[in-house]
């Protein structure tokens, strides 16, 4: 009933364009259901969804409503926001520039100064720019690595960090208190604030800081070829500046370097999708390049592939590449006396256990958080403000995102591709490829293999199925696999960890995540995505060899699907 009411409201509204009304009239019942069965959610990761008319879509009305809410939130929380302003950036997607200008207009007409870039810029540079400009907040218009039909809206606080749950709670309340997206409006202030285009100093200082993280820039780079692609996104200019300044032999895949919202040069802009590597690897073979690196469209994630001794190219998961990079960075820092004895490495509850083992071997403490880099950025700021001497050493998520130096407070694809390139070159000069390095890690810490599988659930029926799946696991914990039950069960929604008949409180924000631990080192994490209509299954194993470990996650996943009836 609500779906039909929302649909008719849009169809009959004089505010909806005739073009959008034609789209609405041509919708099938399934499309109407998906576009109108709920309001597009503004959650802990902001908004992300399909572009188009509808309450469950990203469009001028839903973006305007979110920005009105954010403006009111800022005015309530920051006394100096009108003077300090807000920085806004965007990626290459359809409507990204339009949503940026709309957001700037709404802020301006609330009396809040808005800073915008002259064109697209990556997410980590937005995070840095908030800090550089000493602004009260930031907005990033992006759907990250999602398909071309999507866009999104993320908000940042004065530290350059995405709003964590306790901060965004009030914003969600304000947005919920507003009229529906067609009727949400405001009275503009008598004298709107300035909308200022940022100068090149933001780009220049950001690039210089990225270049400053190198540890071995004097390595001989001659003959070490790197293929780079920004996947039609935001990283091309900054990445090429960094590589050129530091003397790397880099070959951009030009067909994927234009900021194309349709991603016409790639089958997928997502480094987690193997199809995104097809074209860059093809180019790497032509050049006989040693390394392929890529960023996702908004430039915060990084993927890579390396060439083995037989000339074949292999991709690495985010868990594998980050563990190797951490080991390399910590080793070099330790050798030079740069590694802090009280340093901290940050990752997430669904990240491989290997990362913690690597950090521990160097005397570095590990702190784990829910998925979302905002929790890592927030903890860095927390220690700085309290004057707690726990230096940041490294932060990463399994989903191809890491941070090496915290001048940005979000994962940073430029920092990542630079240090992955340096690491690969360092080992190349020793006669090793990254496959050799991964095997060395396996011999030292056990052969870890971690894979993420997902199932999509569309529309209202899909949302109901997702809820049933999670409640079923919650009500019947300790799923048995091959006659073995997990010895530990963590429920982050209930904030309870059960182990050997005992219960302990989980001191993290509540989140709809479940994790099971088995005696043989197997872990299973289950989590509905915060940005897409899908449930993710994180399977981690430790094998007796590389071959043994590689085959296990899929076998476990298939058995789990059989048990769950999916």
- List residues with catalytic annotation: 144
Measured distance CA(566)–CA(561) in Å, rounded: 5
Q: How far apart are CA 47 and CA 240, in angstroms?
A: 31
User: What is the rounded distance in angstroms from the CA atom of residue 301 to the CA atom of residue 92?
Assistant: 15
Task: Please name the helix (run of DSSP H) or strand (run of DSSP E) that holds residue 60, with its range, or none.
Answer: helix 60-77
Strand partners of residue 156: 138, 162
Radius of gyration of the chain (CA): 24
Q: Which of 90, 148, 117 is closest to 268 using CA atoms? A: 148
Please report which helix (H) or strand (E) contains residue 542, including its range. strand 534-543
Neighbours of 426 (CB within 10 A): 17
* In the block, residue with structure tokens 């965007």: 90
Side-chain half-sphere CA neighbours of 408 within 13 A: 33
Dist. CA 355–CA 326, nearest whole Å: 8
* CB contact at 8 A, 82 and 111: yes
Encode burial over 267-299: b for 16+ CB neighbours within 10 A, e otherwise. Answer: ebbbbbeeebbebbbebbeeeebbbbbbbbbbb
Q: Which of 82, 127, 130, 77 is nearest to 107 (CA)?
A: 82
Rounded CA gap, 359 and 476, in Å?
34
Q: Which residue has the tokens 């259901």?
A: 33
For residue 172, which phi and psi values (nearest 5 degrees)? -60, -40
Token code pair at residue 426: 């360092």
Q: Which residue has the tokens 């991709």?
A: 315
The token pair that represents 492 in the structure block: 């982050």
Q: Are 533 and 524 in contact (CB under 8 A)?
A: no
Reported for 357-362, long-range contacts at CB under 8 A and 24+ positions apart, including other chains, are 357/445, 357/446, 358/323, 358/326, 358/327, 358/330, 358/441, 358/445, 359/326, 359/330, 359/393, 359/394, 361/444, 361/445, 362/330, 362/331, 362/334
| Residues 6+ positions from 413 with CB-CB distance below 8 Å | 122, 124, 235, 295, 296, 299, 300, 301, 302, 401
Tell me the residue ranges of DSSP E strands in 105-163.
114-116, 137-141, 150-156
Q: How far apart are CA 87 and CA 82, in angstroms?
A: 12
- Beta-bridged to residue 115, according to DSSP, are 87, 196
């Amino acid at each position: 009933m609500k779906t039909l009411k929302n649909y008719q409201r849009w169809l009959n509204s004089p505010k909806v364009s005739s073009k959008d009304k034609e789209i609405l009239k041509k919708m099938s019942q399934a499309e109407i259901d998906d576009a109108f069965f709920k309001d597009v959610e503004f959650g802990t990761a902001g908004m992300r969804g399909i572009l188009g008319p509808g309450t469950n879509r990203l469009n001028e009305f839903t973006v305007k409503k979110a920005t009105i809410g954010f403006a009111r939130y800022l005015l309530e929380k920051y006394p100096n926001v009108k003077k300090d302003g807000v920085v806004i950036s965007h990626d290459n997607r359809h409507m990204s520039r339009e949503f940026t200008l709309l957001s700037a207009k709404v802020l301006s007409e609330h009396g809040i100064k808005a800073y915008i870039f002259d064109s697209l810029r990556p997410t980590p540079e937005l995070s840095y720019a908030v800090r550089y400009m000493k602004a009260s907040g930031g907005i990033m218009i992006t759907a990250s690595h999602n398909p071309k039909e999507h866009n999104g809206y993320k908000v940042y606080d004065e530290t350059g960090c995405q709003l964590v749950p306790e901060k965004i709670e009030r914003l969600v309340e304000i947005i919920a208190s507003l009229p529906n997206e067609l009727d949400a409006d405001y009275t503009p202030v008598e004298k709107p604030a300035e909308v200022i285009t940022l100068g090149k100093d933001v780009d220049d200082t950001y690039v210089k800081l990225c270049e400053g993280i190198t540890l071995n820039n004097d390595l001989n780079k001659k003959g070490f070829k790197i293929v780079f692609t920004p996947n039609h996104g935001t990283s091309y200019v900054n990445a090429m500046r960094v590589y050129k300044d530091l003397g790397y032999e880099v070959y951009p895949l030009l067909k994927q370097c234009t900021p194309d919202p349709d991603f016409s040069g790639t089958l997928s802009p997502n480094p987690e999708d193997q199809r995104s590597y097809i074209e860059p690897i093809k180019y790497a073979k032509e050049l006989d390049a040693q390394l392929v690196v890529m960023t996702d469209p908004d430039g915060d994630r990084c993927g890579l592939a390396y060439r083995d001794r037989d000339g074949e190219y292999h991709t690495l998961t985010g868990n594998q590449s980050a563990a190797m990079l951490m080991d390399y960075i910590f080793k070099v820092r330790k050798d030079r006396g740069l590694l802090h004895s009280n340093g901290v490495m940050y990752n997430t509850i669904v990240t491989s256990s290997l990362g913690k083992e690597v950090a521990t071997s160097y005397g570095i403490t590990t702190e784990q958080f829910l998925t979302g880099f905002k929790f890592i950025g927030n903890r860095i700021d927390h220690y700085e403000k309290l004057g707690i001497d726990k230096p940041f050493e490294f932060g990463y998520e399994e989903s191809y995102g890491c941070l090496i130096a915290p001048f940005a407070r979000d994962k940073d694809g430029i920092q990542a591709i630079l240090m992955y390139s340096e690491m690969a070159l360092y080992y190349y000069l020793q006669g090793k490829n990254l496959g050799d390095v991964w095997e060395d890690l396996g011999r030292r810490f056990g052969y870890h293999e971690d894979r993420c599988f997902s199932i999509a659930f569309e529309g209202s029926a899909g949302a109901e199925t997702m809820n049933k799946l999670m409640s079923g696991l919650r009500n019947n914990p300790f799923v048995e696999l091959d006659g073995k039950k997990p010895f530990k069960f963590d429920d982050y929604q209930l904030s309870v960890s059960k182990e050997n008949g005992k219960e302990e409180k989980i001191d993290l924000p509540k989140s709809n995540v479940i994790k099971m631990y088995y005696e043989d080192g197997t872990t299973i994490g289950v989590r509905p995505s915060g940005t897409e209509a899908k449930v993710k299954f994180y399977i981690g194993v430790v094998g007796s060899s590389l071959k043994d470990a590689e085959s296990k996650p899929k076998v476990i996943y298939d058995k789990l699907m059989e048990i769950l009836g999916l």
